[in-house]
Chain A
Amino acid sequence: MRVILHVWRQDGPEASGGFERHELSAVEPDMSFLEMLDTLNEQLISNGHDPVTFDSDCREGICGACSCVINGRPHGPGHKSTTCQIRMRAFCDGDEIWIEPFRSGAFPVVKDLMVDRTAFDRIIEAGGYISTHSGPKPEPNASLVPHSIAEEAMDAAECIGCGACVAACPNAAAMLFTAAKVSHLGLLPQGQPERWKRARSMVEKMDEEGFGACTNFAECQDACPKGVSIRFIGRMNRDYMKAALCEPETRQGPLKAH
């Protein structure tokens, strides 16, 4: 099959970019979207041009490295799939395909389709961890977790941190990502010691990184390759409200009686 590509080319974070038109004629319907981009790059290199820079790693939908907004949708036309899981049979012969990077002030373009998503890492650093002892392995059944809670925590933990939620959100908000991280630890016993501190510091970090605010459009949930529910955003808001307004900042010292 033959496709016409409009690929975003941008030399660096400060450079102004633009679309470049390419035609690919030997595209197999069974090729993945990234294999199609590989073919394009081989063609560009053999013609002596600069290849298109894009992110990829596992190419089986679990690492969260691949990105791209394809025809206006993060990760392209599939449902609950990443760019690497899209096959070219999802397009028709002669289709025009527009490929853009994820656009957010917090995700500066490194080059072409590759964006810097370390803002997510900094949100994780702010509170996406638990404190645990480093001694012998504890008895697994020492702290019981109800099955439904374990499942719910796993639903949140499915987030692969790809950033499609930010890309899909009209406000470039990172609420779904942050909520998934706050919730998957906050639901489990191991995450309780830092629960309130985590909610507070991750929410504050999210704003600091320059992400937008949620307007409950639910676009993120639709674009999420793992189908993380916006219910976790509500849960994060609840945890944040309690952390910021109710939980005491200090528990030490006497209360003045005079």
Chain B
Amino acid sequence: MRLLKFYQTAVGKKVVVAVTGVVLFLFLIAHMAGNFKVFAGPGVIDEYALHLRTMLEPIFGWAGVLWIMRAVLLACVLAHIITVALLIRQNRKARPHKYHRHHLQASTLAARLMQVSGAVILVFIVLHILQFTTGTVQPAPVLFHEEGGHMMAEVYRNLHAAFSLWWVAALYIFVMACICVHLYHGGWSFLQTLGADNQDRNRCFRIWAIVLALGLFIGFSSVPFCFWTGMLPPPAADEVAHTPATSTEGH
């Protein structure tokens, strides 16, 4: 009851957007750290993908932890988007008659583009899962093999195949730029919404937003960029890829 009342106010909704945004941001950090394993050699990221599924297997079963994480992330994405949609509706209602001239003075371009960058990221998330997790969308062939009775994606091989296509790599780097822009505003905005900002800290928080936005952009883009330019080696030829995709299990 109390939570519902909290959520009904604009401030409550903003807090929900901020907190779910932080969870998604933490996920991005973890995802990027996982991606860096491609630089450690072709087998390492596949080992990591297997580890994600066997982690705490005796308690949660095969990929149990992974599914818990997926459920939390899905809940956060949905809460983030639905709450933002409700806020947008409230904001549109709050100004029924537009200005004939309205000069925005203080806001950054990133802030004004939050809805656009957010929409691009949403479409990307769907396509990204359809491409590398389920293998439904295959600009380049996505291969799976069997591991202890479960289907596993050939992570390194699939990444290499996809990002060797210039347009796939370019598209990924473009979306990472959108994430960068989204986080430049979001990385500061959540601190302001949660009331952590003040005159002493503001400069640090703005720098922090630049560092994290650029850090995630460079970190994430390095993988498609390095595959595209051939800086990362192709997978070993003797590792034969097996079954084409039908399973929902993968990276």
**A-side interface residues toward B, CB under 8 Å?**
19, 69, 71-73, 98, 100, 103-106, 168, 170-173, 175, 203-204, 206-207, 210-219, 221-223, 229-231, 233-238, 240-241, 244-245, 249
Contacts and interface: CB of A to CB of B under 8 A. Distances in A.
Nearest to A19: B100
Contact of A223 (B14, B15, B105, B114): B105
A241 B100 CA distance: 37
A171 B9 contact: no
A258 B202 CA distance: 50
Given A173-B91, A210-B93, A234-B195, A73 B100 contact: no
B106 A212 contact: no
Nearest to A206: B10
Most buried by B among A104, A230, A234: A234
A222 B197 contact: no
Nearest to B97: A103
A177 to B, nearest CB: 13
Chain B interface residue bracket vs A: 35 or more
B185 A218 contact: no
A173 B88 CA distance: 12
Contacts of B99: 69, 72, 100, 103
Contacts of B149: none
Given A213-B87, A231-B198, A207 B8 contact: yes
Nearest to B106: A222
A163 to B, nearest CB: 13
B130 interface: no
B87 A221 contact: no
B111 A173 contact: no
B106 A237 contact: no
Most buried by B among A103, A222, A231, A237: A237
Contact of B185 (A171, A216, A241): A216
Contact of A238 (B2, B102, B195): B195
A212 B90 contact: yes
Most buried by B among A175, A206, A219: A219
Nearest to A243: B6
B194 interface: yes
7 contacts: A103-B98, A172-B91, A210-B94, A211-B10, A216-B185, A219-B106, A240-B9
A238 B192 CA distance: 10
Contacts of B192: 216, 230, 233-234
A176 B194 CA distance: 15
